[in-house]
Amino acid sequence: MKYKSIKKTLRLQIEKGVKALWTWKKGEQEEFTLIYKNYGDNLPIYTPQQLIDLLTKEELSLSKNK
Angle value at C-alpha 40, between 31 and 43, nearest 5 degrees: 40
The amino acid occupying position 6 is I
**pLDDT for res 2:** 82
* Distance separating alpha carbons of residues 52 and 39, to the nearest angstrom: 21
Q: Can you give the pLDDT at residue 57? A: 94
Q: How far is the C-alpha of 5 from the C-alpha of 19, rounded, in Å?
A: 19
pLDDT of residue 1: 59
Between these two residues, 12 and 43, which has the higher pLDDT value? 12
Report the run of H or E that residue 22 belongs to, with start and end: strand 21-25
> Above pLDDT 70, what percent of the chain?
88
53 contacts: CB under 8 Å, gap ≥ 6: none
Looking at this protein, which amino acid is placed at residue 27?
G
